[in-house]
Amino acid sequence: MKSPEELKGIFEKYADKEGDGNQLSKEELKLLLQTEFPSLLKGMSTLDELFEELDKNGDGEVSFEEFQVLVKKISQ
């Protein structure tokens, strides 16, 4: 399990790739998961469903808070 600081670092590394550095686009999230949590994607039905579930406010981006929800869920 990664520490909150490590997670924030990982999040920012991918969020900075395009657009808003405080948000993950669907592409950025996909890249992050494929690189940092490859086993997670195997268990997920589709990235689209995962993204919709994470993007609680429907803005088409995943915030760090929304991302943390995912990490908590997978680390149980």
Residue 6, pLDDT score: 92
The domain segmentation of the chain, as residue ranges, is 4-74
Residue 63, pLDDT score: 93
Q: Which pLDDT tens digit goes with each residue over 6-60?
A: 999 999 999 998 778 899 999 999 899 889 887 776 655 677 888 888 888 888 9
Look at 71 and 31; give whichever has higher pLDDT.
Answer: 31
- Give the number of other CB atoms < 10 A from CB of residue 57: 9
CB-count exposure of residue 53 (10 Å: 0-12, 13-18, 19+) = middle
What are the residues whose beta carbons fall under 8 Å from the beta carbon of 72, sequence distance 6 or more?
Answer: none
Q: How far apart are CA 71 and CA 69, in angstroms?
A: 6
- Contact between 29 and 51 (Cβ < 8 Å): yes
CATH topology classification for 4-74: Recoverin; domain 1 (1.10.238)
User: Which residue type, as a one-letter code, is found at position 3?
Assistant: S
